Every structure is written in C-alpha cells, then in structure tokens.
Structure 1
C-alpha cells in the first residue's frame, strides 16, 4: 500500500480536486435547493474511473485500496461537494468482491467499472429493527428456482439511480445460539424487476434536511433468482459487516473533508472581514474555536488512515473503523460550528454555503451508525466492559 504522502496518492488527490473544481458552490447549492440528484457530477467521476477505484484491474477498475478511495471521498467534500451521491458504490464493492462468485463478478464488475451498470443502493435498515440489524423482518421465501422477497425497508438510498441493489432478507428464523444466522444477502437486478414485475417494487421518496436521495421501499413478493444470492444462504450478515467497516472509514474521510472545508472557509472569512477597524481573525475568541476544530480534524485524519491501512492489509479493523468515524464526525461538527460562528449572520445565508454544509455534516454523528453505538462497541470489544445492549 502506498504511503499517504506518496506520489501516487498526491496525484489521485490532485486529479479528484481538478474534477471537483468543475462543480462550484453554485452547482451544489442548486442541487440542494431542488433536492436533485447530482447526476452530472456522478457521471464525470464514473467516466474518469474514480468510482471504480476498488474494482480490480482485471475487471476494468483502478485496483486501488480503501486508503485511496477514502482520499477521493475526502476531496469531494473538501471541495464543497457532497459524496453521499456516490459513496455507496465504493463500500458495496466489498460484498461482491469478497463473497461473490466468479459468475457474478464477471457479469457485473466490468459494467459497473464503465458506468453501464450503477450500484448505489444498499437495502438493509428497517423501521422496527433500527440498529439491531439481526432483527429485520423482510423475508425471502424459497420458491422453485427463485426467492420471493416481501417486506419494508427504510433509508434505502439511490435505488431510483441504481441498476443493481443489495438487499438483506431473512431466509430462516434467528437461531438462539447465533442471532446473526438466517440472513441472506441478494444482489438484485433492478432492471429485470422494473421491466417484468414492477408491481412487486414500491419506492416512496423521503425528503430530508439536506440533499440525500433516500427512500422507503416496499418489496411485495419480488422474484429474484437463486443466482442472486451472495455467498452462502443464511450468512449474509457476516458479508454485510465487511461493507460496514469500509463504509465507516469512507464516511470518516467525508467528515474530514467537511472539516477541512469549514476551517478553510472560516479562516478565509476571518482574514477578510473587518469590524471595529481590524480583521475579526485578530480576536482569540474567533481564532481559538477554528484552531481547536482544526487540531481535532488532524487527529481524526490519522485514525482514518490507520483504519484504512488495516483494512487494506486484511487485518481486523472494526475498532479503528468505528473510532475513525466517531472522531471525524465530532471534529467536523466542531468545525462546522466554528465556521458558522465566524460568519455570524452570514453563515445562515445560502450563498455562503456554510448552512448547506452544516446540515450535511450533521448526519455523520448518527449515520451510518450512531456515535453512542460506537462508544458501546469500543467499551465492550476493546475495553472489555459488560455488554449494555
């Protein structure tokens, strides 16, 4: 794995930065206002191969590691953009790459790499289960050479912008000795569903406080072939865990990108704004919150790289991935508050973009996992304290 200061990493960072420069603040302001999917942005990232970063070269991808992928996500947010439009294609790769069979990889990976197929939807969460994924109720019932999937999912993002979707469903009852047993992961071809059985898939858009193409989804006896099963039947929860570690690391990098954006904008404004005959950045009351937030971001950045290093080396990284996400989300929020305070009333005006990024970065404290759940994880898995849930 190249070092984070290597020439290769710096070239990738510069390439991403140059592509993002084609989409200025006004672009992201418009998509946010209209809750419009930034298709043009996703298209150019796809064309340039960045969304195929984790796909091996033999399938047409860049064959890079999660460290490099995290740099791409960081730079998108650091430029003022919003990685939520495309980050899922990065972290969903793990389930297919690590647990898919050769037929599935050959059928899908080359087309995903070129952009002919879009994989942005991960359908797992349910209202009643929440963070307790092992308690989901969406069921997949065996029927000849197919499974019939019936149930309701919440927070299934970008399904309308996807050709493929991962769907986690229960194929057998939860075993008392292993509560993770009985969940199966399916890679569903949405093109076939929409063309041949549209009545089995109902999508209800959910408007959120920032531009996030998310939905409630109702599966109503949706037929999927047995060839759609990823890995072994009943073992899907374990495959999802691989994606979760990658997801936490990538979203940590997005929060870090936000944090750098906030501190940069705060410094710029503090140096240019003059009140009482001097720059407001002269005041320690302005300087110190920005500086404090910046130091927190730098610290979170180090944990992000450590988690990514372990992931790329195939070593256990659950604790580091979770801690990176927690530290980065807290740091970005501190930076957001410092930036908003620095701008004062102008921070609430949309043309400064602070209020947009402020809304966007708040998500990282609760998704993809609540920070309190991370504390519980570290308390029990790292420190050896009694399980609290």
Structure 2
C-alpha cells in the first residue's frame, strides 16, 4: 500500500494553495454577506488550470482524475473558502467528469473546452419538492416530439443556476409506474439531458426563484420551473431511459467532493481555533494550555485525518473504475461530520467572540451545518451502511 499522494495531486495542492492565498477569510466573508459569486477566485482558479482538472487534455484540460479534483476542493476549503466547495461540485464534478465519461464526442468537443477555461459553468437539476433523496420518485417528465424531448416539471434546491451555461436535468422518459413492467427495473426510465440555460430562459420555458438560506450564499439555490423546455435528442447524456447509469457517475463524485470540502473546512476551522487558543490569554496563560480546550481540538484533528484518508480512498477507487459506493458514502458522512465538529469546537474556543461577524468562525459554522444534510442526509448514508455493509433489513 502506498499512502503518498501522486506528484500530480501534490502539484494541484501547491497550485490551488497559491491561488487561494490571494483570497483571505475577509474576501469570502464579503462574498457571503453580499450574496455574491466569487468571480475573481473562479477566474484565477480557471486561469491556473485548477477548474478543468478532469477535462481530458485533448479538450484543453488537465487530464487528471477525481483524486486531484478532491485535493483541489479540499485545498480551497482549507484556505477559508468553505462554500467554494460548490465551485468544484457544480462545474468540474457535474459537468467535466460526467461528460468526460458519458458525453458524446460532439458534446465533449462543444462544451468541455469552456469548462477548462472557466467560461462555462454547470448545475444539476435532480431534487424535486416531493422527491428529495428518493430520486426514483421524481416526476419531471420528458416526452418525445420528433427529434426533441419536451421537459416539464419542477426542481428544488438547484444551486448555481444563475451562473450556469448548462443544466444537467434528470427527467423521466418512462413513467415510474411503467418502468418495472416495460424496462425491467424501477431505476430505469430516467434520462439525463443537457439544457442550454440561456436558450431555455430566453424562450420563456425555464425560470427560477432563489431560496433565502442560512449560509453558502456565494452560490444561490433556487426552485426551478421547466415549462416545456425543448431539448434536442443529441443533448441526451448516455442513453434514453438509462440515465441512472450516468447518475451514479454524477452522485459519487458529488459525495467525494463534498467530503473533500468538509475535510478542508475542518482544517480551516481548526487552524483558526488553534491560532486563537495560542494567542488568547486568560488567568495568566493561553487558553490552549487548558486541556478542556486542547483535547476536543485534538480529537477533531484525529477525526479529520481519518476522513481525509477515506476521501482519498473513495476518489482513488472512482478513478480506477472500481466499485466505490460504500466508500463515497462513508467519506461524505465523516467529512461532513468532522467539518461540523471542527466548526463547533472553533466556535466554543472563541467563546462569545465567535458570534461576531468580525470573525470568520460564524461563517464557517453556518457553512458546515448544511453538509450533514446535502448532497445526501447522513441518516440515509447510515441506512445504506446498515443494509449494504451489515446486511441488515431495509427500513424503507
């Protein structure tokens, strides 16, 4: 076994860290307060080649894998850009990785160079108001009319649509009640489509309403309405009715990158807490000398390293075409939990000052909490571990 990161991943860590160093906690807090996309950081990351890492070299990208992308995401979050995890999930994760694996040559040639240079962004429209984590129950439909599919439905918690060039839409081309009988599986009947966001918006068939939220406001999350959006058949990703095969190569990278962002967020929170614990003097000594402060931080440091190892393992398995569902779920679970624990301990270390927006701890605290619920709730991950790894009976 070799636990050394490859040279490619080490180069990514060094390169992203150099870019991230230009954007301190104050920058990310300003973007959060203004509900503003971090366009400057995005541009610098793209110019350095750190967005197009998984774009094949023939389309202008780095030609690397999920491990390098996870390291990039982790490094950005560790710098203080904790909500920057969205930047890596949305476009390199949903866009580049999906098309590199499942796109047609025409799709890759048209879209991937823009991902590589940062001029193209992506979002994913999967979740629905009445079908959250239960994707099999989605009702957005795509009916065929000639050489087009006409998409109608509603999606919710769709992040990044306001900046997206392309939206990956998951729709039913065969009704749920017919899928088992006609196609032999409940997971059949889904199709993944590329929707040109500007084209559909200008046609009046695509609209969205932002959802006010607690944190992560560098990227807007919206309720999306698809009112007979017309999608040419050549914009199907994979095969009609077989979209679930594509979807697993969307969801596993999403969980790996969410885990990486959680690990990086834990690093950021622990660094702030340790610095403050060394500097803050109470009763004649630094508060970090008190075991009541030091031990909880040390415990979270240990958990962070465990989550990091599982994240790297899941990414390595994905890159090698190996089954990785269990590992991606465990990585996401532990990465999200350690991000929250680190933010909570940093908050406690700062005491009352953590409640002030003059310090970045309150932003890290808000950013960390949602990770336990998205992209999949930890209860569903635990149910997966129970049934798939412990052979326990299903609860749903």
Structures share a fold, TM > 0.5?
yes
Kept in 2, the 8 Å contact 1:126–1:152? The answer is yes
Question: 1:117 is matched with which residue?
Answer: 120
Distance, in Å, in 1 between the alignment partners of 2:3 and 2:292 is 37
Kept in 1, the 8 Å contact 2:77–2:85? The answer is no
* Residues 1:232 and 1:6: Cα distance change in structure 2 (over 3 Å): closer
Q: Which moved more, 1:276-285 or 1:170-179?
A: 170-179
Shift in Å, 1:148: 1.1
Question: 2:58 is matched with which residue?
Answer: 58
* Structure 1 segments unaligned to the other structure (5+ residues): none
CA-based RMSD: 1.4
Distance, in Å, in 2 between the alignment partners of 1:270 and 1:115 is 39
* Structure 2 segments unaligned to the other structure (5+ residues): none
Matched residue SS, 1:352: coil
Question: 2:367 is matched with which residue?
Answer: 360
How do residues 236-251 of structure 1 correspond to structure 2 at under 5 angstroms? Answer: 236-251=243-258
Distance, in Å, in 2 between the alignment partners of 1:5 and 1:226 is 41
Shift in Å, 1:193: 2.0
Question: 2:383 is matched with which residue?
Answer: 376
How do residues 134-283 of structure 1 correspond to structure 2 at under 5 angstroms? Answer: 134-174=136-176, 175-176=179-180, 177-195=184-202, 197=203, 199-210=204-215, 211=217, 212-283=219-290
**4+ runs of 1 displaced by more than 6 Å?**
none
Matched residue SS, 1:165: strand
Distance, in Å, in 2 between the alignment partners of 1:94 and 1:182 is 23
Q: TM-score normalised to the size of structure 2?
A: 0.94
Whether 1:105 aligns to 2:108 is yes
Distance, in Å, in 2 between the alignment partners of 1:142 and 1:19 is 46
Question: 2:132 is matched with which residue?
Answer: 130
Q: Which moved more, 1:76-85 or 1:133-142?
A: 76-85
Kept in 2, the 8 Å contact 1:73–1:253? The answer is yes
Distance, in Å, in 2 between the alignment partners of 1:355 and 1:386 is 40
Matched residue SS, 1:243: helix
Kept in 2, the 8 Å contact 1:3–1:9? The answer is no
Deviation track 1:282-335 (CA, whole Å, cap 9, x = no partner) reads 111011110111111011111111111111111000000000110111111111
Q: Which moved more, 1:96-105 or 1:52-61?
A: 96-105
Question: 2:323 is matched with which residue?
Answer: 316
Question: 1:5 is matched with which residue?
Answer: 5
Matched residue SS, 2:224: strand
Kept in 2, the 8 Å contact 1:166–1:188? The answer is yes
Shift in Å, 1:85: 4.1
Aligned pair count? 385
Distance, in Å, in 2 between the alignment partners of 1:8 and 1:220 is 44
Distance, in Å, in 1 between the alignment partners of 2:118 and 2:262 is 26
Deviation track 1:175-220 (CA, whole Å, cap 9, x = no partner) reads 235111111100112232234x1x1111101121011311110011
Distance, in Å, in 1 between the alignment partners of 2:248 and 2:68 is 21
Kept in 1, the 8 Å contact 2:66–2:253? The answer is yes
Shift in Å, 1:66: 0.7
